[in-house]
Amino acid sequence: MQPQKLERRVERLEQRVTRLEELPGRIDGLESQIVQLRTEMHGGFSAIREQMQAGDEAIREEMRAGHEAIREEMHAGDEVIRREMRESFGALTGEMGRLHEELKSQMLMLHEDTTAKFALFREAFPTDAAPTDTTPKGRRRRR
């Protein structure tokens, strides 16, 4: 072997050994960084978990408030519908009463008209068996 090559090989070997000697310190530094990363991640995950729990509670509270608001709105709507139905029922009852009175009046007019026509018919064609009083016996007229 040539001396120059041997020197060169020894230099390379020394460089390698120097780098290998540095490895434990670098590994220790890496280990402390990993431990620090684990600690930070654990703290971060704990913070996220707490925020999620707080967020869940906030969402639940919002849902409760929304549910209560909807219930109140439905109750108010129910009251409005009931009031409108009572008003409509009152108007309908009044209209039915008016129509009933109108129908009674028309029926009375028709009855009187028919009675008058029968009276004219009896005058035009008299018979001995026909009664002169056209009011039915035993019935009273309504007022």
Q: DSSP class of residue 97?
A: H
Report the C-alpha gap between 62 and 51 in whole angstroms: 16
pLDDT tops 80 at residue 69? yes
- Taking only the tens place, the pLDDT of each residue in 15-52 is 999 888 888 888 888 888 999 999 999 998 888 888 88
pLDDT tops 90 at residue 2? no
- Taking only the tens place, the pLDDT of each residue in 50-65 is 888 888 888 888 899 9
Q: Give the pLDDT confidence score for residue 23 in this predicted structure.
A: 85
pLDDT tops 80 at residue 79? yes
Residues shown for the chain: 143
Tokens at residue 20, please? 């290998």
pLDDT tops 70 at residue 137? no
Q: Give the pLDDT confidence score for residue 135 in this predicted structure.
A: 59
Three-class DSSP category at 127: coil
- Taking only the tens place, the pLDDT of each residue in 89-114 is 999 999 999 999 999 999 999 999 99
Tokens at residue 136, please? 């039915």
Report the C-alpha gap between 143 and 140 in whole angstroms: 9
Q: Give the pLDDT confidence score for residue 68 in this predicted structure.
A: 92
114-128: average pLDDT: 90
